[in-house]
Structures are given as C-alpha cells and as structure tokens.
Structure 1
Amino acid sequence: MKIAKRMENLSPSVTMAITALGRELKAQGRDILSFSAGEPDFDTPQVIKDAAKKAIDDGHTKYTAVEGTIATKQAIINKLKKDHGLDYELGDIVVSNGAKHSLFNLCQLLIEEGDEVIIPAPYWVTYPEQVKFSDGTPVIIETDDSTEFKITAEQLKAAITPNTRALILNTPSNPTGSVYTKEELIAIGKVLEGTDILVWSDEMYEKIMYEGKEFTSAASVSEDMYQRTITINGISKAVAMTGWRYGYIASPKKDLVKAMIKLQGQVTSNVNSITLQAAVTALDGSADADIEMMRVEFEKRRDVAIEQFNAIKGLSCVKPDGAFYLFVNIKEAYDDSLKFASDLLEEKGVAIVPGDAFGLPGYFRFSFATDLASIEEGIRRIKEFVEK
C-alpha cells in the first residue's frame, strides 16, 4: 500500500510511545514506574462530571456549531477577561478537539513551503512535527539551564528572517515548567514590533503556578502583542480533563477565525457536545477549589522531587515555576540521554522521556503528576542507577 509522501515529514510522538511501552511492560508483569505521561493523576472534579451527566439528561447530544456553542465560547471570553483583562468577542473564538488540534489547524491555515516558525528548545514534541507536516521549516533556538530554558529578546532577533511567519511560545513550558515573566514578554514584543510575525502562545498550564508567582498571558502585555498573538489554551491539564478533548484559540483576527472554522468544518466539525457543556462549568469558576487543591499537591511533589534529584551526584535540575515537569540535567553522569532512558527502563523499571525528544539532549523530562510515594521510589531507583 502506498502511503502519502507528506507522512515522511512526520515522526511518531516519543512521549506517547514511551508511555505506551511502559504500560505494555507493566501488563507483562514488570514492576514499572512511569513518569513519562503529561497527565494529572487526579480525577475530573465532581462538579464537572455532574454537569456532563446533566447535559446528557437534558438532551445535549446533537451537532453543534463547528466552532463551539455560544455558551462555551462566552465562558472562554469571560475567563480571559477575568484572568488577564483581555477583551474578545464570540467571533474571536474557535473550540477544537484539544490544543493539539488547535495548533494543527493553525499550521494548516498559515504555514506553506518556505515559511519559517521559530521554536525555542526544549519544545513540546508536537510543535516542529506539525510545522514540518505543513511544509514549513522549524527554526530552533536552543536554551539551557542558565536562562531557565527561556529565549532572550536578542536570540529572537537573531533568528528572524524575511521568511519568519510565527513564534511559538509555551508558558508555563512543557517540558521544563519555565514561565516567561511580564518583563520578558514585553522584551519579546518589542523585537516583533513592525513585523507581521504572529505569536502562537500555548498557555495550557497557566493555572499550575508555584510559590505565589503570577502568570502573564502574552496577549496582555501590549496592544501590539494582543493584535499579533493567537492564544491557545484548554482544560486538559489544570482541570484534569485530558480525555475530554477540549482546546481553543482566541484571536482578534476575524479572517483567521473564519478560515479555521471552514477548515474544521470539513475535518472534525464540532467538539463532543457533552464536553462543550461540561467545559462551561470547568471555565466559570465552579471548579476553582479543585484546581487549587491539585495545584497545591503538585507544588508539594515538585519540592520533594527537586530536593531529591539535586542530591544525586551528577544530576541537577532548575526549580520550575509552573506545570508538572522537571527537566533534569544528566550531562555529568551520562553522555547519551537516549541510552540513559532506555537503560533506566530496562534495568530499573523507570520510564522517563529523554531530552532528545524535546530537541535538547543531555536532559530528561520527569513528570511529577503522580503520587508522592511513586515519585520517591522512582527517584530512589534513578539514584541507584546513576551511582552504579
């Protein structure tokens, strides 16, 4: 069977592959501890599940508008206004089947052969793959521990060419948990002034912030940034709704929004109608106590994991300000992060994701979105492995 040539531009998701391998080994009876998945271990809050059940009982089981119901779009508008002071209209919002779908739509709409998209590394594995699938060219800016894995305005300026179409920002970051401050976003915005470069700002982890630090939405730092920023968000991570598949974009560019609705209408149509109803409850503040409970627990886990990792000779880790990942530096202990991950899984039954998957070898991503006992046991096994 002939497979379309465009598929040659697409690589499998390493994070999903390792997670699947861990599950397979566990099913075979192996003692496996997996820290590879980017998924909260908490259940969806009961208030949201109740809203979904009511939606079924009330007959919300039919097709809806491709871009989402008025109720769910209004909930997004209200949330963005309340949290970030941003003003959007119903015609500025498109709801898709997760943020990954939103990003795919953007790539298909905006990127053609010869177009460049600037992506800071380490990056979420999907970013460069979707750009390449759309015949675009990812332009990677490497970072490291010294800048908390954030690009500087100077690095951005040096990477821009006449072919630059967009910059992808992810704050808080997957895989590092790094968060761009308001001042850093302003500096990035200054570099972009006078250009047609768009900012695709993935803010999926915005509610998972630590030590009282505040999150700043890229679109909120100036009028110029508001006009050029496409905010991408959802409810998967902060509200523990990964399987519900709900992401959205917000942009004042009406032509972009109309084009996205046209594309989605020929591909998936609307998001699951029950999810659309439940999402209103997830966004309107009804689940805020549950979100805070999860955030507090994540912070406790982060603090324990950071202390234990930094006590292992040859490993080091920058304390993240958000998300639920650690990006651990292994350069002193191991010269091959892919082999490190493979050997660790085989010898100690611990699944992590090598930094190579995120465009930065010499590190691994450790998700602390699991119980504290498993975290401590996993790090104990990693310590034994490294010291051996």
Structure 2
Amino acid sequence: MDDADVIVVGAGLAGLAAAITLQTAGLQVLLLEQADEVGGRVRTDEVDGFLLDRGFQVLLPAYPELQRLLDPAALDLRAFSRGVLVQGRDERWDLSTAYRDKATVASLARFAGKRPLDALAVGAFSVRDAVVDAARLRGATPRETGLELSRWHVSQRTTEEIFQPFLAGVFLDPDLTTSSKMFHLLWRCFVRGGAAVPANGMRALPHALADLLADDALRLSTTVESIESGAVRTTGSASPLKARAVLVATDGTDASGLLPSVSAPDWRGVTTWYFAAPDAPLHRPTLLLDGADGSLMNTVVMSEVAGTYAPPGRALIAASVPNTTFNTDVARTLLSRLYQTSTSDWELLKEYRIPRALPRMTANHLLTTPAKVAPGRYVCGDHRDTSSIQGALFSGRRVATAIAQDLTRH
C-alpha cells in the first residue's frame, strides 16, 4: 500500500491507538515508524536473559483507554503490591496494604498514630478520587500538586518523605508543580486498579495494539522527512505518499519539527539503572522510596513483580531518579542503604539516561488541545492531552475520531 486515506506518522501508543480507531471507522490507514519496532518510548530490551524496560514504567490496569482497546488480561499482567515502603528521615515506613503480617500492620498503625491528620487526609482524597466521576476531577480548579496536598492538610514532612519520591517516579517532578488535575486522575487509577507490568515487558502493550492492525497498515524503519499538502515525503523515496489527511503522532519535539505550528513541550528526564544480583534484596513486589535525603530514588525488585523479567536464580533490581545527571556510583551507594545490604556484587546491566521521558504538565496545562493544526494536518500524543499512557491512548483515539468525522463530511 503506497497511498491511504490517512497517513499516521509515529507508531508509539498514540499513533497505534489512532490507527486502530481509523481502521475501525473503515478508513485505509498507513502507519509509518522510523524505528525498527513499535512502541515509541514504551520499549523493552533483552539483555542476558533479563527484560529491561527503557526507563522504569508501569501500567495501570484501571486506565479507561486500556480497557477500551484491549482486555488487560491478554497482557498477562503481574501486579505490584498495593502501597509502598518508605525510607523516611528517622524511620522506615511499611505502608503496603497488600500484607497482613504483624510488622506491616504495626507500621501502618504507627504511621496513623504518629501522623493521624495525614492518614485521614490521604484516606479522604483516595476515597473521593475513587468514587467520583472522572469528569469532576478534570473540571476541578487547577493547582500545583504540592499546593493541592497542602489544601488537603497533608503535612510538609509527609509530602517530602512520601509524596515527593513517589510522584518523582510517576511524573518525574521533584518540585510537585504538576497539575493537580493530573495527580487526582492518576491517583484514581492507582486506587482502583493498582500497578502492574506485562509478563513479557512493557513492549507487550504496543505489540498487542499493533496486532490489531491490518497486515499492510504498518511500515517500520521509515523516516518521514516532511509533510506537504496531502502528502508525506520519506527518506529514500522517489515520490511522496499521498493521503487525504496526515496525523503526526510522534513525540512533541519531533512533531514540532514536522508541523511548525506545534510548540515543542518542555521535557522531564529520568535515569534508570538495572542491576542483576544473585538474590533479591527484598522478597516482595513493592516499590521502595527514598524520602530520607532528597535523592528521590524509587526502586523495586522487578523479578519479584514478574519472575519473567530475570533468568532463573537471578534477581533484577530497577532504580530511578528524576534527572539525567545522577552518578551511578552514588546510585549504588543509595541502593545499599535502602535495601540494607551490600551491592558490591551487583552487576550493572544497563543504564538509561532519558532526557525526553515525559512532557512537563504545569498547573494550567490544558488537558485537551485542538486535533487539527492545518487543513488536512492533525497532531496527537501525550503532549496534547496528559503525560501518561492513558493520555497517549486517549489522544490517539480522540484525534482519530475527529479525522474520521472530517473525512466523512467531505
């Protein structure tokens, strides 16, 4: 297939969701991707029998768009335990609600006893977020997340020790300036369905979406050089590909290069390390947060979450910080303190420094932006809706629906 009703540029999550939606609407779709695999920023590498997602990523089974496109059970999801472990300034908190052993119950009770207002505040907005309609959360007054936590009477100490390291992993935002709307929408999904990863790595999500496309709809290793009126020029092609509409579904910076009217987003970066160890330093699928000294590291034994992430007899530890300049030796020292064990025999499998990990979402970030940017030209992606897997999938479907309606009218 050389021409199509719609050419979609970029086979990340937004582009895949868009192509599926357009195909369902009866339109002929051609999806172009410059990489050798679908997924965009959601990719998984295999190294010596280990599965390494490109940057620490999780899937929330309660994402509405995930449930709309796929049966989450088809991804063979492996769940993280609900709640977290936190290394605070003076003590270690086990705030996991997945366990009922004496130590965990005692830690939860101790936290509630020492910080009752914090426990009540978190419980209150957790219940509210879980039960109210999502449209109400989207329509709330926008604030920075840090100010929103204060408005709910979460203490500064609990914010710094727990929410800062947790949200530094979710939003890559150590200053908690992300839109409070985004915070509550994501918190809603965490409360309703927890977090998980597919047994075959995060790549399983884009691969499952790609399997829904027609056999001739996807073209990998194809670089788009420019977009013209009703056509797309690709590297090495003698003539342009023609289409009634073109949808740019690349990341925000690449989109701005193809569509000058689109502004490139500000980015948040992350560094993620993967270590192999002879034994798991923590025999639980629980996220461990560093709220002690400002490093904002989050870490988890991925092989405890999904045994498929490591070969038999080995453990895989992931650790992330919300910047791209953190020193690896310092990271190893922090991990030794957090897991309370030596890391000298841990093998560094791979280090990912990802400066364009998530688009920044300020308090006044628009949760929805126009689909069409010029006649016959459209744009979608997490930078156009919300910086999340949910946002990417929703944006792809939303813009594809608009395209289908426009083409039907002409």
TM-score scaled to structure 2, two decimals?
Answer: 0.29
Rg larger in structure = 2
Question: Which structure shows the bigger proportion of residues in helix conformation?
Answer: 1
TM-score scaled to structure 1, two decimals?
Answer: 0.30
